[in-house]
Amino acid sequence: MTLLEFEDLRVTYTGSRGRIPAVRGVDLAVDAGEILGIAGESGCGKSTLAMAVLRLLPRSAEVTGRILLDGEDLLTMGWGRLRAVRWTGASIVFQGAMHSLNAVHRVGRQVAEPILVHGEASPAKAAARAEELLERVGLPPSRARSYPHELSGGQRQRVMIAMALACDPDLIIADEATTALDVMVQAQVLELLTGLVAERGVGMVMISHDLSVLSAVCGTAAVMYAGRIVERGPAHEVFAQARHPYSAALGAAFPVIGDPASRGRPGGLAGDPPDPARLPEGCSFRPRCAVAVERCGSESPELVAVQGAERSSACFVAQEGGPVVL
């Protein structure tokens, strides 16, 4: 069953440098009990996409298209309804827990806050529930009395997850939720998140720059570049056999240990991600692309199916069956 659906979502910021298109027409869907991965680098629009779901974008952002949660359009619903949907319908685990937690409140109180705001329990019950939630994410309930600075990075990230679970949402958006963590702590947190999806059937959108993590955790992955989805398909295939030169390069940035092809050959791309205010003409990836052909300079490729219905790519070369890496 489709839980969340983006239909031609576009977000444009207006700033001192004029109109900056951050998200340029995204269509995606997430089912309950499924993890959708969104990969991309800073400035590609992936966090804007996450914020758009709960309408957390600044007023200057112009949002068009539809975001359907259980069939209801989040972009047009009234503020009262939206307030009810935040935390109970969908919640977000942000990156950088240190900055997202309030430094002067005990973490138990912060976890209990959404429960109180939604008026579902008395303060005592909410506090007890907060302890339960902390236990569920692998922290001793006594940690409810700690302040954020008394916790390690991994523990703080667990508190953020406990908070996101507070009102039993159907959808959790994890925006670079494990990026700042060490590999072992990251493995612990990913185990926790995937366990939640498997046991409780929540839907999850996992946003990360690390395509290798997404390939290990997600069913489907979408790769974003300059505000658009450039490739979509089963996560492991997108990582192992990319059908877009950008996904191939992003995947190569995370070498597989033991793979002789990546030994002594760090993968990467020349150049930098484009400035969204000054996107190149034609395909926005063309200036960094090693396989570009003539029409890439003038036409912008659409995301269309390649190799069957499951995989799609926005690359003229891949659409014609050509290799995306030299």
List CB contacts of 185: < 8 A, sequence separation 6 or more. Answer: 152, 153, 154, 157, 178
CA distance 188 to 5: 29
CB of 105 to other proteins, least distance (A): 23
Summarize as ranges the residues that interact with other proteins (CB under 8 A): 41-42, 152-155, 182-188, 191, 209-213, 215-216, 239, 246, 249-250, 252-259, 262-270, 272-273, 288
CA distance 308 to 208: 26
Nearest to 267 by CA among 203, 214, 212, 204: 212
CB of 155 to other proteins, least distance (A): 8
- The nearer residue to other proteins, 18 or 266, going by C-beta atoms, is 266
- The nearer residue to other proteins, 155 or 312, going by C-beta atoms, is 155
Tokens of 22: 């951050």
- The nearer residue to other proteins, 112 or 151, going by C-beta atoms, is 151
Nearest to 308 by CA among 295, 321, 299: 321
CB of 190 to other proteins, least distance (A): 9
Treating both helix axes as pointing N-terminal to C-terminal, what angle do 153-165 and 183-200 enclose, rounded to 10 degrees? Answer: 10
Tokens of 155: 């523990």
- The nearer residue to other proteins, 91 or 146, going by C-beta atoms, is 146
Treating both helix axes as pointing N-terminal to C-terminal, what angle do 123-136 and 153-165 enclose, rounded to 10 degrees? Answer: 130
Nearest to 311 by CA among 239, 232, 241, 214: 232
3 state SS of 171 = strand
- The nearer residue to other proteins, 145 or 263, going by C-beta atoms, is 263
CB of 213 to other proteins, least distance (A): 7
* Beta-ladder partners of 197: none
CB of 267 to other proteins, least distance (A): 5
- The nearer residue to other proteins, 71 or 264, going by C-beta atoms, is 264
CB of 302 to other proteins, least distance (A): 23
